[in-house]
Amino acid sequence: MIQQIDRVRKTRQYVLDKIRPLSTEQWNLVPHGFNNNIVWNFAHMIAAQQGICYLRAGETMQIEESFYHLYKPGTKPTQFVGPEEIQVIKSLFFTTLDSLETDLKQSAFAGYQPWTTRYGVEIHNIQETLHFLLYHEGLHAGIITAMKNIVSH
């Protein structure tokens, strides 16, 4: 399972490296044809990971509940996110994975509740969740890359 966390970490680092030169305004711009922006996608990846790993297991999330509610599935950007908050999101992008890795080593997810994703995939335990997390991260990495290409031209 730790190997899967490393894959998520590498995907996140790749995406962050791709958009590093963008301005705060570009992070917040909703490109034509999209209903969200780069900063929302970054924060959503964090919120979704916390929801499917921690909430589904009855564990306490490693992020503020208000952060989760701003970026959970089904939400859209509601406000301009300034450079300080972007720095917080960039930090959470990796510290939440570090916490997840520690908690996995301590078997913190024994109470995991089965669920079905919106794609019809049944998830029964934390191992299956990590497989789905890789898919979800890749999906949003692609969206962020597409957005970067639009907002940087």
Residue 57 DSSP label: G
Contact call for residues 41 and 100 (beta carbons, < 8 A): no
Tens-level pLDDT at each residue, the chain (153 residues): 779 899 999 999 999 999 999 999 999 999 999 999 999 999 999 999 999 999 999 999 999 999 999 999 999 999 999 999 999 999 999 999 999 999 999 988 988 989 999 889 999 999 999 999 999 999 999 999 999 999 998
Domains detected in the chain: 2-151 (1.20.120.450)
How far lies 66's CA from each of 47, 63, 137, 139, 144, in Å?
10, 8, 22, 24, 23
